[in-house]
Amino acid sequence: MNTMFAAVLHKPEDMRIEEVAVPDISEHEVLIAVQRCGICGTDPHIYRGHFPVPTPLIQGHEFSGEVVQIGSAVTTVGIGDKVTADINISCGKCFYCRMGQKLFCEQITQIGVHINGAFAQYVKVPESNIYKLPADMTWEEAAYIEPLACVIRGQERANITMGSTVAIIGAGPMGLVHAQLAKMNGASTVIMSEMNAARIEKARSLGVDYVIDASAQDPVQAVRDLTEGRGADYVIEAVGAIPTYQQAFQMVRRGGTLVTYGAAPAHATMEVKPFEIYSKELTIVGSYAGTYDTWVRAIQLISSKRFKPTEIISKTIPLTNIVDGLQEAIHNKDIIKIMVDCTDN
């Protein structure tokens, strides 16, 4: 086990399956044989060069696998454990870490973004970031823990109340999960805006109350028509584009909450009227990633079968087809979620 196969990104749109050295682990790290790794919405951005990363880099951060080696100081994880991992490695010492806000750590390092990740046969992770999983959880389910933890964080930031109306822009793998969790959190009505026909049908099959075809009608007016002209109590933008963020500001009612969940390009800007925020007493919250207990609750939610990742996963492909998978994620919006099988057979 000296070498492994991995998808190595050398520069934008130059990713190659290569034989590379298996990572060496320190005394506080574990080595995981990767079973499945999801293609995240961020991965195509990294692949295309829209999200700057150090290269060469092995991407992939939504993963599950089996522990095959542990460092000499590791005490809570054993060989053979089924695991996933929090991708956010923090220092534990800076102001933000001591405030319980590890996502803002001054030395934050993310697996598959800043350091090598799980589009590979093996990945190394600090013991402190490992979460052990139930034996009956499938590899695909386990690889959906990271995105589910992110959505749980977004729902927490929204603080959705019972009987409320929630409008979600974008029926992708994140928006669809937001719709399901909003119902679990007590929303009486969930409205979803989407342009792709396959995703519209998926949203309907998952029980979304009203699905707006944004390619055929004005989604802002449609939301107002469904809310007696007021707008939604909560609006979650899950696309990450300026036009949909502009729609979100128009969809939210006076006194409502806007959740900025979709990752817009880092340098994109838009005009906002401060008076509108002031006069409407809008609450605007951001949600960046899962952290701490959202991982625990994501595991419990999947284990209980209350949330079923299989309803979101479109297909599973071998690691050797990763470039095709990234291209499909970019160009084929009929596909919602692609899993990558990283095993060596």
Structural domain contains residue 301: no
Q: Write down the pLDDT at residue 308.
A: 93
Q: Which domain holds residue 26?
A: 3-144+312-341
Same domain, 114 and 133: yes
Residue 84 CA to residue 9 CA, distance in Å, equals 23
For the record, the structure tokens of 59 come out as 């991407």
Same domain, 156 and 225: yes
Same domain, 226 and 271: yes
Same domain, 184 and 219: yes
Span 13-53, pLDDT tens digits: 999 999 999 999 999 999 999 999 999 988 998 999 888 89
Instruction: Write down the pTM of the prediction.
Output: 0.93
Q: At 225, is the pLDDT very low, low, confident or very high (cuts 50, 70, 90)?
A: very high
Q: Which amino acid is at 326?
A: L
Same domain, 140 and 7: yes
Structural domain contains residue 307: no
Same domain, 259 and 276: yes
Residue 9 CA to residue 145 CA, distance in Å, equals 25
Structural domain contains residue 87: yes
Q: What is the DSSP letter of 307?
A: S
Structural domain contains residue 330: yes
3-state secondary structure 317-337: EEHHHHHHHHHHHHHCCCCCE
Same domain, 209 and 177: yes
Structural domain contains residue 294: no
Structural domain contains residue 38: yes
Say if residue 311 is exposed, middle or buried (CB neighbours under 10 Å; 0-12, 13-18, 19+). middle
Residue 248 belongs to domain with CATH number: 3.40.50.720
Same domain, 193 and 125: no
Tally of domains within the chain: 2
For the record, the structure tokens of 97 come out as 């870490």
Same domain, 121 and 205: no
Residue 118 belongs to domain with CATH number: 3.90.180.10
Q: At 124, is the pLDDT very low, low, confident or very high (cuts 50, 70, 90)?
A: very high
- DSSP-derived 3-state class of residue 234: strand
What b/e readout covers 164-196, taking b as 16+ CB neighbours within 10 angstroms? bbbbbbbbbbbbbbbbbbbbebebebbbbbbbb
Tell which residue, 168, 152, 137, 156, has the closest CA to residue 308.
137
Q: Write down the pLDDT at residue 344.
A: 65
Same domain, 177 and 137: no
Which comes out higher in pLDDT, residue 67 or 100? 67
**What is the percent of the chain where pLDDT is above 70?**
99
Structural domain contains residue 281: yes
Span 152-165, pLDDT tens digits: 999 999 999 999 99
Same domain, 133 and 159: no
> CB neighbours of 167 closer than 8 A, spacing ≥ 6?
190, 191, 192, 193, 223, 231, 232, 234, 235, 236, 251, 252
Structural domain contains residue 305: no
For the record, the structure tokens of 289 come out as 């990633």
Same domain, 120 and 174: no
